Amino acid sequence: MYGAAVRFEDQDRNQLLATAYQIQTDAQLLSSRIAVVNEIATAINNSLSLDEILQVVANDARWLLNFEHCSVYIRKIGEPWGLVTLFGPALDMTISLDDNDPIQCALRTGQRQLIHTDGLNSNAAGAGMPDKGILAPYSSLMIIPLQSEGGVIGTLNFATTTPDTYNADDYRISYLLALQIAAAIRNAERFQVVERAQLELQRYAAELEARNHELDAYSHTIAHDLKAPLTQIVGFSSLTMLSFEHILPKEAQDNLNLIQSSALKMSEMIEALLRLAHLRDAATEAEIVEMNPLVDAAFTRFYDPVVENQIKLDIQLDLPPALGHGPWIEEVFANLIGNAIKYIGSENPAPYIAIRGYVQGNMIRYEVQDNGLGIALENQTRLFDMFTRMHNTHVPGYGLGLSIVHRIVTKLNGEVGVISEPGVGSTFWFTLVAP
């Protein structure tokens, strides 16, 4: 280049000034081209759409290089390798690349391919290759590998019919552009993967929600259909007892009592299932709820077993209020209190149940503590599943109470849990949003 024909020390003043001016002009031109590369990089990095990224390249690369054809050879997610024409006449996409195609060479070697008028390939290894492949109609080709994370993910291709077009500066510019495009393509592909995963999750969530609604509707219908014959069973068994009590043998009377008792238990289970199904879709406005009246109302349901088992009650008198729905929260306390009574232990010398609450950040935490049988650690993780029983003792219940607690507390944007030790007792806790 400069001074190749005449050495600098052999040039006179005017020649040196002309050379310096030429060098300065070329440097300014290269600087301007690098600035355009940076502008293109900013534009393509502001998009996660592969099509938009390629469109930016097609529109702005004309400011950097002379070409009549611009394309990328890439493999989009879920598609085979293919040539995407960004500028110029579209090439036949059905043409497969042979081993001597410069695009294939760039993919295989990771080295740029420069082909000039004479058809010779000038790559980084200096090897010659008289093949222009699918870009054969053009005289000058420049194929730049798109490299990302140690691998080649495609090529950026420029071509023109003008002989001997591309030089070292063109390669530097196209290399910088290829770096930006490769990074942007990789980011766009990752975004597409995440986006597809999110869409798949949304589709799955919608299907699951639809199935849940269908299951709830089915359960609701079946439960209502079961209640009618149960009512008849209870009614007719009672009527039979009253009408024929004086002539029925004791064994028959015991059987009728068993039928009536079982039917009533099944009716209670159906009511619990209906409450669970109702809570899935129930919506209510949260309001400030005072807790002590709800706890008192909940204990009223268990007056007889509390007195019968001589359970000592320790209820905090100033339980902090929380945001929620009063009837639901009363149901939570009732289920936890009933659970504590069931498993207080028949041999417990001094049974007690304590209820307390305190502020915990922007939540209120409530605890129902007992000194009953306790729960083994391996059983605690499934306590809130439907039909889970903590012990094989003969106590009333169907394993639905804690499922109702979990669903109510979750509906009210809180959490529920347990701390327990066998033989020591259990502390069931739940949180609600502070007012």
Compute mean pLDDT per 10 residues along the chain, 435 residues long, and list them.
51 64 60 64 68 75 84 81 87 73 90 75 48 85 89 91 88 82 80 84 85 70 73 83 84 84 74 64 76 93 90 94 90 91 89 95 96 85 61 50 85 92 92 94
Residue 46's contacts (CB-CB under 8 Å, 6 or more residues apart) are: none
User: Which residue among 281, 315, 342 closes a domain?
Assistant: 281
d(CA 288, CA 104): 70
Residue ranges making up the domain that contains 225: 199-281
pLDDT on residue 247: 87
User: Which residue among 281, 314, 332 closes a domain?
Assistant: 281
d(CA 104, CA 133): 9
pLDDT on residue 56: 76
Whether 42 is covered by a domain: the verdict is no
- Locate 40 and state its tokens: 């293109």
User: How do strand 81-87 and strand 69-75 relate by DSSP bridges?
Assistant: antiparallel
Residues 310 and 347 in one domain: yes
- Locate 62 and state its tokens: 């004309």
Q: What is the CATH number of the domain that holds 363?
A: 3.30.565.10
Residues 390 and 271 in one domain: no
pLDDT on residue 368: 96
Half-sphere exposure of 295 (CA within 13 A, CB side): 20
d(CA 310, CA 277): 35
- Locate 113 and state its tokens: 């391919």
Indicate the DSSP class of residue 198: H
With beta carbons less than 8 A apart as the criterion, state whether 432 and 414 touch. Answer: yes
Whether 342 is covered by a domain: the verdict is yes
pLDDT on residue 55: 77
Q: Which position has the token pair 């079961």?
A: 226
pLDDT on residue 141: 93
What stretches of 251-404 adopt beta strand conformation (E)? 287-289, 312-315, 322-324, 352-360, 363-370
According to DSSP, the residues that pair with 359 across neighbouring strands are: 364
Whether 297 is covered by a domain: the verdict is yes
Q: What is the CATH number of the domain that holds 247?
A: 1.10.287
With beta carbons less than 8 A apart as the criterion, state whether 253 and 261 touch. Answer: no
Please report, to the nearest 10 degrees, the dihedral formed by the alpha carbons of residues 234, 240, 241, 243 taken in order: 140
Residues 275 and 292 in one domain: no
Residues 245 and 320 in one domain: no
Indicate the DSSP class of residue 89: S
Residues 336 and 411 in one domain: yes
d(CA 372, CA 171): 80
User: Which residue among 219, 251, 281 closes a domain?
Assistant: 281
Whether 12 is covered by a domain: the verdict is no
Residues 428 and 306 in one domain: yes
